[in-house]
Amino acid sequence: MNPFIRRAAYCIPAVGLFFAVSGQAQQTQRSVSELVKSSVDAVVLIVVSDEIGKPTVEGSGFIITPDGKIVTNHHVINGAHSAIVKLNSGAFFTVDGVLADDAEHDIAIIKVAGKNLPFLTLEDSDGLSVGDHVLAIGSPLGLENSVSDGIISAFRQEAGGTSWIQTTAPVSHGNSGGPLLVMDGKVAGIVTLKLSEGENLNFAVPSKLINPLLTKTTLQPLGSTSKPDAAASSSVTGESVWTSMTNGRDYKIRIDGDYIYGEWINLPPALSTTAAFQRVELKKDGDKWVGKAISYALFQYKQYSITKTIWCRVEVETEVDKMSASRIEGQSHLPTSFDAKKCQPEKLEWKPFTLIPK
């Protein structure tokens, strides 16, 4: 609900074609199975908690060195007060801190006190090709070590220089930070986002961006990644279009003094000619910008086996705690369930969001 929120047939006998296809499918299936068995022990579930120890975010990651360096997304651990990681073996580790944090490319390297841990190695992402078979392993919606596969469907380059690997391997919330593997078991990229407005539009950060961060040796406490960059935020002014890394929607963002105004602009055709809108107005309050996100949209509910449609106006609390020329981050108090008949959310949870310039 909220704008800020959550990559030829040949003429041959039919019998020959049947066996050729069946044999290829079995070979691919065995290959995927072997890859999962050799890789899954190095993939972890990350559970982030707030200052009172309440779990707030779940994401994925993967061990990159046997002594406990773990790669994940910046947005998974951003603002964390504490975190634990769970291995496929059932072992738990407390996160000791952050070794490297690249908010611009959404990469973080965290550290646990491990020894002789299973780990993955990096592929040269510059050597990848469209059509390469890839595998995603992670914990979507907390479902640990879920596996999906697909192909690399494209390579994308944003105007600001950010690179993406687009893939058809299905991912969901919770996959963030997990590895995108090529079929030799090496990491091609970090699963980062999906676009909910289309099908099979999922994106990973290329692995080539990880290596420079692995040289960092100074351990910073969790929570240091969420400190606002005052100098950078003061340079973000005027009006521009930003894309949500949570839902893929485009928003017109206007910075006017102590105020941030936002509006969803690429509504689908079914809504673009209606009164539907999503807008936000925030005011600076100390190191944050706080305010309301307002949505006006159609909802459906059933009454006596009849489907009814109703327009609802929904307001939720929203705040931005980090803003730079390349990134806007914050959280919104979003409904996890909604009573359309009453036009009221039934339960609210704080969910992080990230926007990047379009």
Quick one: pLDDT at residue 119? 97
> What percentage of the chain exceeds 70 in pLDDT?
86
Mean pLDDT of the chain: 84
Determine which one of 60, 101, 106, 148 is catalytic.
106
Quick one: pLDDT at residue 225? 61
Q: Is 89 exposed, middle or buried (0-12, 13-18, 19+ CB in 10 A)?
A: exposed
The reply to whether 106 belongs to the active site is yes
Whether the per-residue pLDDT at 231 is higher than 50: the answer is no
pLDDT tens digits, one per residue of 298-332: 888 888 888 888 899 999 999 998 888 778 888 99
Check for a shared fold between 11-225 and 228-357.
no
Ramachandran quadrant class, 264 (left: phi over 0; alpha: psi -120 to 50; beta: rest): beta
The alpha carbon dihedral of 197, 198, 199, 202 has a sign of negative
What band does 1 get if pLDDT is binned at 50, 70 and 90? very low
What top-level class would CATH report for the domain 228-357? mainly beta
The set of residues, in sequence order, having a beta carbon less than 8 Å from that of 37 and lying 6+ positions away, is none
Judge whether 226 and 78 are in contact, CB under 8 Å. yes
- 11-225: which CATH number, 2.130.10.10, 2.40.10.120, 1.10.150.120, 1.10.40.60? 2.40.10.120
Determine which one of 60, 74, 75, 207 is catalytic.
75
Judge whether 59 and 46 are in contact, CB under 8 Å. yes
The residue extents of the domains of the chain are 11-225, 228-357
As a dihedral over the C-alpha atoms of residue 204, residue 207, residue 213, residue 219, rounded to 10 degrees, the angle is 60
Q: Hey, is 303 helix, strand or coil?
A: strand
The reply to whether 256 belongs to the active site is no
Determine which one of 39, 125, 139, 176 is catalytic.
176
The reply to whether 176 belongs to the active site is yes
Distance set, CA 343 to CA 44, 173, 280, 295, 298 (Å) = 39, 26, 19, 11, 10
